[in-house]
């Protein structure tokens, strides 16, 4: 069975690949160097009348033959920015797949070790958990078989689609898995400001929503053009989500290791 970390790595990889493909294909105009075109035409045995499109930059040399039926307009810079948009979407998918996977893997263990005190004292988490309900059948089941996995699954199902996204999802997951101040501890480990990390993650999730639901427009009903997107911005978004999730994974592993070895773990405090 794959670990949550491996699940995350598998899901963030397409985002990183899309960024690399964009970087390979990035160009202003197809190459028109006569000698290079003549050499490539000879190399692939293309007839004189066959149209060839050559992409040439400092890291890539690519040749597109006429039979590919790929017009130059399809690979112009403005068209290639859709690769960046999809990288943003993939990175958010990786985050929102990872957080439930991490809770599913470890929350039962936290409940088993900490019992009824497993819930953190954070006000927002407590408020969210108030709306979690157990049916009469659930109550009877727990009385006859106090199964921590059942409780953990109920809570994860309650949080999954609304709360396990963005910075709030990172905070909730860390708190439930006994990391006392997830945001600030992640920031400290990365040597970054918590507010800056939070802003990047939240902006990335909002941008994903714009891309998926409004074709990357802030208002689908308007005549406004798509929002601009730069390689540097998309790279920062993807890398920030990657680093934040890796840090969270390390912090959770360290806290759980203390629980398993009977070391004292302070009650979780209210998150900043």
pLDDT digits (tens, 9 = 90+) for 45-67: 989 888 889 998 889 999 999 88
Q: Which of 69, 68, 50, 170 is nearest to 122 (CA)?
A: 170
Is residue 138 situated within a structural domain? Answer: yes
What pTM was estimated for this model as a whole?
0.83
Higher pLDDT among residues 209 and 136, named by residue: 209
Residue 72 has pLDDT above 90, yes or no: no
Is residue 39 situated within a structural domain? Answer: no
With bands split at pLDDT 50, 70 and 90, how would you rate the model's confidence at 271? very low
Percent of the chain, pLDDT > 90? 50
* Greatest mean pLDDT among 127-131, 175-179, 241-245: 241-245
Own/partner long-range contacts of 18-22 (Cβ < 8 Å, ≥24 apart): 18/83, 18/84, 18/86, 18/87, 18/90, 19/83, 19/84, 19/87, 19/231, 19/234, 19/235, 19/238, 21/83, 22/80, 22/81, 22/83, 22/84, 22/87, 22/231, 22/234
Is residue 18 situated within a structural domain? Answer: no
- Residue 45 CA to residue 28 CA, distance in Å, equals 27
Mean pLDDT score of the chain, rounded to an integer?
A: 86
Percent of the chain, pLDDT > 70? 81
* pLDDT score of 272: 40
* pLDDT score of 270: 44
Is residue 240 situated within a structural domain? Answer: yes
Is residue 218 situated within a structural domain? Answer: yes
Count up the domains in the chain and report the number.
Answer: 1
Is residue 178 situated within a structural domain? Answer: yes
Residue 55: phi, psi to the nearest 5? -105, 125
Q: Print the domain residue range for 175.
A: 85-260
- Residue 56 CA to residue 30 CA, distance in Å, equals 7
Given a contact cutoff of 8 angstroms between Cβ atoms, the answer to whether 242 and 250 are in contact is no
Is residue 234 situated within a structural domain? Answer: yes
Is residue 45 situated within a structural domain? Answer: no
Residue 152 has pLDDT above 70, yes or no: no
- Residue 72 CA to residue 79 CA, distance in Å, equals 10
């Amino acid at each position: 069975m794959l670990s949550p970390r491996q699940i995350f790595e598998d899901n963030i990889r397409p985002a990183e690949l899309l960024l690399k493909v964009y970087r390979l294909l990035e160009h202003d105009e197809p190459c028109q160097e006569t000698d290079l075109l003549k050499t490539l035409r000879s190399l692939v045995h293309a007839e004189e009348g066959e149209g060839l499109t050559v992409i040439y930059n400092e890291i890539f040399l690519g040749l597109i033959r006429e039979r590919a039926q790929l017009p130059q307009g399809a690979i112009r810079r403005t068209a290639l920015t859709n690769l960046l948009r999809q990288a943003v979407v993939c990175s958010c998918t990786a985050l929102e797949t990872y957080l439930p996977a991490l809770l599913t893997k470890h929350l039962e263990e936290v409940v088993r070790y900490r019992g009824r005190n497993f819930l953190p004292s954070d006000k927002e988490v407590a408020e969210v958990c108030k709306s979690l309900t157990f049916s009469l059948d659930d109550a009877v089941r727990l009385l006859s078989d106090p199964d921590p996995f059942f409780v953990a699954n109920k809570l994860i199902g309650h949080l999954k689609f609304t709360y396990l996204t963005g910075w709030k999802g990172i905070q909730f997951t860390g708190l439930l898995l006994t990391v006392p101040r997830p945001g600030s501890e992640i920031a400290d480990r990365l040597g970054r400001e918590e507010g800056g990390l939070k802003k990047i993650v939240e902006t990335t999730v909002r941008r994903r929503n714009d891309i998926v639901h409004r074709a990357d427009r802030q208002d689908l009903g308007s005549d406004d053009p798509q929002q601009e997107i730069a390689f540097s911005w998309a790279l920062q978004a993807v890398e920030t989500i990657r680093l934040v999730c890796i840090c969270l994974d390390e912090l959770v592993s360290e806290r759980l290791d203390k629980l398993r070895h009977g070391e004292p773990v302070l009650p979780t405090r209210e998150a900043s």
